[in-house]
Amino acid sequence: MADRQESASRAHPRTRLDDNFSTGLRFSLMASLGEQVELDFATLADILQANDSALSKAISHLNDAGYVAVTKGRIGSRPRTWVRSTAAGIDAFAGHLSALREIVEIGEQRSS
C-alpha cells in the first residue's frame, strides 16, 4: 500500500509530454534538427519524407511554440527557408524524451 501512495504522490511522466511533439512529423522534425543544426526546407522534406504542405504546417506550429527558428533568404533567384531548433525547443524536446523513457521504464518494471 505504501508503494501505491508513493506512486500516487508523483505525477505520471505522461503529464510531462509536450503536445507540440504529438505528431510524428513534428517529433521527427525536432529529432532531425538536434542542437546547432540548421537544415533547409528541401533537405528536411527529403529526410522526413514529407510533402511540402505537411512540413510547412509542422514548421509553423513549432515556430509559433518558439521551438524552431525560421530564416528566409535567397540563393541566386531561388527563395530558401532554413530551420534550426531554439534553446527552448532543445530543452522541451529533451524533457519530452525523458518522459517517454520513464514511461517505457515503468512498463518494463511492470512486465518483469
Each of the 112 residues of the chain gets a pLDDT tens digit; together they read: 455 655 556 899 999 999 999 999 999 999 999 888 999 999 999 999 999 999 999 999 999 999 999 999 998 889 999 999 999 999 999 999 999 999 999 888 877 6
Query: Can you tell me the distance from the alpha carbon of 110 to that of 89, in angstroms, rounded to the nearest whole number?
Result: 32
DSSP 77: T
Domain-wise residue ranges, the chain: 2-111
List residues bridging with 68 in a β-sheet.
85
What does pTM read for this prediction? 0.85
Given CATH 2.40.50.320, say whether it is the number of domain 2-111. no
Q: Would you state the cell numbers that stand for residue 71, as one nine-digit string? A: 530564416
How many residues appear in the chain? 112
